[in-house]
Structure 1
């Protein structure tokens, strides 16, 4: 069961656009999606969204624009770069934007987490070390991606388990700067692995499911037109495999790196 704070931090619910919706202005599109007018136009310039239909000098947007924009918004919130998003959009079947936007909202922020976030005052961060954390250290703690600011002096710890590991390292008298360096390296490399899994595995399989649904619809085969449930079932199977693969590989790599380091030390002593 997710905590109240975890549920409140989820991405905004995504409304499935109705194909009968009237066309809207860029200001109305901005209000519906929470994306600024400036960013909407920047996404058009970058080729992520098609231009609006012009009615005189007025640009009008439809449900397809909104679906794409909601997806772009959610992917940006999850850390994807514009060039990566553009590639993803170019390889997604036409007409599937609203479904993808729903999927992004469904899985965003809480689908892959294994424990509820925990709130803590920023002033209490690093309180387990003998000396108080410096402003620079507190800033590092609040910006490495494991914490989400929710107030001037409050953060949401996204991995309480990792915080508990940090506390145990403090008890072993590991300096705070060393722990922060290790966390930075952890985030840097696991983010690379996570992006590879998302882009090469999850999104590719998602595109296959959506493409099959569109193909079945085009051929007049019976279909409910909903790809969310099949994708949820697929991702439920993929999630433990992706997370488990890291747990399975890391002990082997850790042992190999330990052995290499020992051999280097022995060579220096000769």
Structure 2
């Protein structure tokens, strides 16, 4: 399977705004970074619908672009066309851009932590066509994912969350709602992370600490390599921890959605 880090270095980032667009196949190729030849091949394989004809000219829109982005990401992760077609058949219509974003984020953050990205606090609400209020800036500064490095500058420790926020802005989700969700996300994922660390590392760490204390009592220098088992275990744990959350959350989210719908229907019938 292709390395995600090497596959994504030169990949173009395109806007996922659902503003109505008309693209020729050459335009589509340029925006998505996919050759015209591959676009034709994806159409022949049934992965993409044909363009709308405008006279004799084939016209593509944002739905084609979003689906092509998703196909591109999955191909770069090593998926075969048959597997991609099966995935696309199960993807909700019109959600191609959102699924492409999540595919990208999952493949690039599954094994490692992203490099921080600097950004001015004054620009944090730009995608909501407004400026962040002092209260909103303060929330961004204290939630643990933004490190203040200047009067109006922060380091975003998870640039991926910003890209998800941009998608939510395009879906007209208010900034305060996004901040509320982010606060809840951080609170609960921190609890999960702490549980993983305490339950999986505590015993091993206590054993290492006891060995170090015994060595120190005997005047034996502590071996710096003693921490190596913890580091090695953590590197093996990271993808399992991330994977367990991604495996459980869709099920729980669907259950909560179904329950909320049922409650709303009951209120409507009794109201």
The TM-score range, normalised by the shorter chain, is 0.5 to 0.7
Any idea what the Cα deviations from partners look like across 1:170-210, whole Å, max 9, x if unmatched?
11111111111111111111111112222222233322345
Distance change in 2, residues 1:214/1:133 (3 Å)? closer
Higher relative contact order (CA 8 A, sep 6+): 1
Counterpart for residue 50 of structure 2 = none
Contact 1:117–1:157 (CA<8 Å) still a contact in 2?
A: yes
Aligned counterparts, 1:100-249, within 5 A: 113-211=112-210, 226-249=225-248
Listed as ranges, the gaps of 5+ residues in structure 2 are 6-110
* CA RMSD across the alignment: 2.7
Contact 2:201–2:230 (CA<8 Å) still a contact in 1?
A: no
Any idea what the Cα deviations from partners look like across 1:56-88, whole Å, max 9, x if unmatched?
xxxxxxxxxxxxxxxxxxxxxxxxxxxxxxxxx
Q: Distance in 2 between matches of 1:146 and 1:165?
A: 14
SS class of match (1:148): strand
Q: Distance in 1 between matches of 2:201 and 2:242?
A: 13
Counterpart for residue 58 of structure 2 = none
Q: Distance in 1 between matches of 2:238 and 2:209?
A: 19
Q: Distance in 1 between matches of 2:224 and 2:122?
A: 50
Tell me by how many angstroms 1:260 deviates: 0.7
Tell me by how many angstroms 1:114 deviates: 2.0
Tell me by how many angstroms 1:225 deviates: 7.1
Listed as ranges, the gaps of 5+ residues in structure 1 are 2-111
Tell me by how many angstroms 1:217 deviates: 10
TM-score with structure 2 length normalisation? 0.52
Distance change in 2, residues 1:258/1:214 (3 Å)? same
TM-score with structure 1 length normalisation? 0.52
Contact 2:208–2:227 (CA<8 Å) still a contact in 1?
A: no
Shift >4 Å, 4+ stretches: 209-218
